[in-house]
């Protein structure tokens, strides 16, 4: 069971609507202000925040003793903690959750940032290119690890096959898979083929493969290749191997990441053992796919903080994700992974806008 929390409308509008979290912790305005200032400071500097600095940042006209008392109460509530090496305090998971659900005000994304994201989704890109663009732009804009899952990947279906003769017994195979995913593959053949022979081979393969699932057509074609006994038998077998490789890649690329090395910039994730475990999760993908699947029921942005993910290896990380759609159906989730002290007010609108723009691009591509 994966636990996350939706971003409610009040966060996007910046309204001060009463929230159950506020009532649960019974924080007055001064305590809320100090918690917000502490989190903003820790997000920026990754350093425990002392009462003196909090007093200066908050601008409250109260004594240092009052500040210390409020912070002690926040610590008793479990919203902040005091590291052993410092008298200052840092936010806890519960503190971040309270901040996000009750205090965070998320503004609209700046037009300049929205323009940068929008330019990544040009209408002449294939669906595969659009999805890869989403991971790249997420990592570049947020300086975190961008991630996109493909929840429902359709079986590879061949739409077009074309051969182009090159030099030195090389042939360029051009494949169009599904709606618009174009793949070019150079193969090496054991003899010279004329343009006419290459055209005949493409026509023969097309009769078997066009409009069919590659997996279904492949078995039938392999069985009949031995009976054809034509001059292009050899090249068709070679092409089939190349197509097998391309189509298998297309079907199993269910998780795409970009910018993982951005996480090296954060001290709390730089421990070699933590990094090794984290990158193992990235490589194995299964756990991340399960986690992102928890975002598919979200109407907007979903956030998992630390242990909320259900995976101990992500205890120092937050995942911010949002689903994207094709023809009204959710086909995957995109988002970012970073430390728990990410600037949520900046990251949330980036993820939200990217999901909406990717959805639009996938539904309007030529």
User: What pLDDT is attached to residue 210?
Assistant: 80
Say which range, 162-171, 242-251, 275-284, has the weakest mean pLDDT. 242-251
Q: Does 121 reside within a domain?
A: yes
Would you say 68 and 51 are in contact if contact means Cβ atoms under 8 Å apart? yes
Tell me the per-residue pLDDT of 321-340, one tens digit each, with 9 for 90 and over.
Answer: 999 988 888 889 999 999 99
**Cβ neighbours for 319, distance < 8 A, ≥ 6 positions apart:** 291, 292, 303, 304, 309, 335, 336, 337
Tell me the per-residue pLDDT of 298-317, one tens digit each, with 9 for 90 and over.
Answer: 778 999 999 999 999 999 99
The Cα angle at residue 264 between residues 262 and 266, in degrees rounded to 5: 95
Q: Which residues pair with 57 in a beta bridge?
A: none
Say which range, 14-28, 63-77, 154-168, 250-264, has the weakest mean pLDDT. 14-28
Tell me the per-residue pLDDT of 118-130, one tens digit each, with 9 for 90 and over.
Answer: 988 876 787 878 8
Q: Does one domain contain both 146 and 257?
A: yes
With 0-12 / 13-18 / 19 or more C-beta atoms within 10 angstroms meaning exposed / middle / buried, residue 299 is exposed
Q: Does one domain contain both 57 and 174?
A: no
- 158 vs 362, residue with greater confidence: 362
- 162 vs 94, residue with greater confidence: 94
- 244 vs 92, residue with greater confidence: 92
Helical ranges in the chain per DSSP H = 9-13, 20-25, 29-45, 51-58, 64-76, 93-98, 111-119, 127-142, 195-209, 214-228, 233-252, 272-284, 286-293, 344-364
Q: Does one domain contain both 131 and 265?
A: yes
Q: Does 44 reside within a domain?
A: yes
Tell me: pLDDT of 230 over 80: no
Closest CA to 347 of 90, 143, 47: 143
In angstroms, rounded to a whole number, what is the distance separating the alpha carbons of residues 345 and 161? 48
Would you say 100 and 345 are in contact if contact means Cβ atoms under 8 Å apart? no
What crossing angle do the helices spanning 272-284 and 286-293 adopt, rounded to 10°?
70
Among 229, 252, 275, residue at a domain's last position: 252
Tell me: pLDDT of 220 over 50: yes
Tell me: pLDDT of 175 over 70: yes
Tell me the per-residue pLDDT of 182-214, one tens digit each, with 9 for 90 and over.
Answer: 777 788 887 788 888 888 888 877 877 787 766
User: What pLDDT is attached to residue 329?
Assistant: 84
User: What pLDDT is attached to residue 59?
Assistant: 86
Q: What is the CA radius of gyration of the chain?
A: 27
Among 222, 252, 282, residue at a domain's last position: 252
User: What pLDDT is attached to residue 233?
Assistant: 63
**Cβ neighbours for 291, distance < 8 A, ≥ 6 positions apart:** 2, 304, 309, 310, 311, 314, 319
Q: Does one domain contain both 309 and 243?
A: no
pTM of the entire structure?
A: 0.71
What token pair was written down for 199?
A: 């055209």
Q: Does one domain contain both 89 and 174?
A: no
Q: Does 30 reside within a domain?
A: yes
Q: Does one domain contain both 45 and 56?
A: yes
In angstroms, rounded to a whole number, what is the distance separating the alpha carbons of residues 344 and 99? 10
Q: Does one domain contain both 245 and 279?
A: no
Q: Does 1 reside within a domain?
A: no
Q: Does 316 reside within a domain?
A: yes
The DSSP bridge pattern shows strands 255-258 and 181-188 to be unpaired
Q: Does one domain contain both 46 and 74?
A: yes
Under DSSP, the state recorded for 213 is B
- Residue length of the chain: 366
- Residue 114 backbone dihedrals phi, psi, to 5 degrees: -65, -35
Among 224, 252, 280, residue at a domain's last position: 252
At 32, the pLDDT band (50, 70, 90 cuts) reads very high
User: What pLDDT is attached to residue 37?
Assistant: 94
- What average pLDDT does this structure show over 133-144? 95
Tell me: pLDDT of 229 over 60: no
- 199 vs 216, residue with greater confidence: 199
Tell me: pLDDT of 15 over 50: no
Mean pLDDT over each residue of the chain, to the nearest integer: 81
In angstroms, rounded to a whole number, what is the distance separating the alpha carbons of residues 331 and 14? 30
Q: What residue numbers bound the domain in which 191 lies?
A: 158-252
Residue in the block written with tokens 């029921």: 297
Q: Does 93 reside within a domain?
A: yes
Q: Which residues pair with 37 in a beta bridge?
A: none
The DSSP bridge pattern shows strands 170-177 and 329-339 to be unpaired
Q: Does 200 reside within a domain?
A: yes
Tell me: pLDDT of 270 over 50: yes
- Residue 329 backbone dihedrals phi, psi, to 5 degrees: -110, 140
Q: Does one domain contain both 71 and 147?
A: no
User: What pLDDT is attached to residue 3?
Assistant: 37
Q: Does 2 reside within a domain?
A: no
Tell me: pLDDT of 83 over 80: yes
Residue in the block written with tokens 């669906």: 127
In angstroms, rounded to a whole number, what is the distance separating the alpha carbons of residues 265 and 272? 13
Domain count, the chain: 3
Give Cα separations from 231 to 97, 197, 214, 334 (angstroms): 68, 8, 23, 48
- What average pLDDT does this structure show over 31-49? 94
For residue 41, the domain's CATH number is 1.10.10.10
Q: Does one domain contain both 342 and 277?
A: yes
What token pair was written down for 346?
A: 């900046």
For residue 259, the domain's CATH number is 3.30.450.40
User: What pLDDT is attached to residue 224?
Assistant: 66
The Cα angle at residue 102 between residues 98 and 108, in degrees rounded to 5: 120
- What average pLDDT does this structure show over 67-75? 93
Say which range, 4-8, 109-113, 253-257, 278-282, has the weakest mean pLDDT. 4-8
What token pair was written down for 263?
A: 């996480």
Q: Does one domain contain both 286 and 143?
A: yes
- What average pLDDT does this structure show over 344-348? 95
Could you tell me what percent of the chain has a pLDDT over 70?
A: 79
What token pair was written down for 232?
A: 């292009």
Q: Does one domain contain both 257 and 148?
A: yes
In angstroms, rounded to a whole number, what is the distance separating the alpha carbons of residues 100 and 36? 10
For residue 184, the domain's CATH number is 3.30.390
């Amino acid at each position: 069971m994966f636990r996350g929390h939706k971003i409610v409308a009040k966060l996007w509008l910046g309204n001060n609507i009463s929230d159950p979290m506020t009532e649960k912790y019974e924080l007055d305005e001064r305590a809320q202000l100090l918690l917000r200032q502490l989190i903003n400071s820790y997000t920026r500097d990754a350093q425990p925040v002392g009462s003196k600095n909090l007093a200066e940042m908050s601008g409250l006209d109260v004594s240092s003793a009052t500040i210390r008392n409020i912070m002690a109460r926040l610590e008793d509530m479990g919203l902040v903690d005091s590291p052993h090496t410092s008298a200052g305090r840092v936010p806890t998971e519960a503190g971040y959750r309270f901040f996000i659900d009750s205090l965070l005000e998320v503004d609209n994304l700046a037009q300049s940032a929205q323009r940068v994201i929008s330019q990544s989704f040009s209408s002449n890109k294939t669906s595969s290119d659009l999805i890869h663009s989403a991971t790249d732009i997420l990592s570049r804009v947020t300086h975190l690890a961008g991630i996109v899952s493909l929840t429902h990947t359709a079986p590879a279906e061949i739409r077009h096959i074309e051969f182009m003769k090159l030099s030195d017994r090389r042939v360029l195979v051009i494949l169009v898979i599904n709606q618009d995913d174009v793949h070019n593959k150079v193969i090496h053949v054991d003899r010279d083929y004329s343009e006419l022979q290459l055209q005949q081979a493409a026509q023969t393969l097309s009769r078997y493969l066009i409009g069919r699932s590659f997996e279904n057509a492949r078995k039938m074609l392999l069985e009949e290749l031995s009976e054809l006994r034509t001059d292009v038998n050899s090249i068709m077998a070679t092409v089939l191997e190349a197509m097998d490789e391309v189509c298998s890649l297309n079907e199993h690329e269910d998780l795409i990441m970009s910018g993982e090395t951005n996480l090296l910039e954060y001290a709390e994730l730089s421990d070699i053992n933590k990094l090794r475990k984290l990158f193992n999760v990235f490589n194995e993908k299964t756990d991340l796919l399960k986690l992102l699947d928890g975002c598919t029921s979200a109407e907007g942005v979903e956030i998992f903080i630390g242990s909320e993910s259900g995976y101990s290896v992500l205890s120092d990380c937050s995942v911010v994700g949002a689903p994207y759609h094709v023809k009204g159906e959710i086909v995957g989730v995109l988002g970012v992974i970073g430390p728990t002290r990410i600037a949520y007010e900046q990251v949330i609108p980036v993820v939200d806008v990217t999901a909406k723009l990717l959805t639009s691009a996938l539904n309007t591509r030529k």
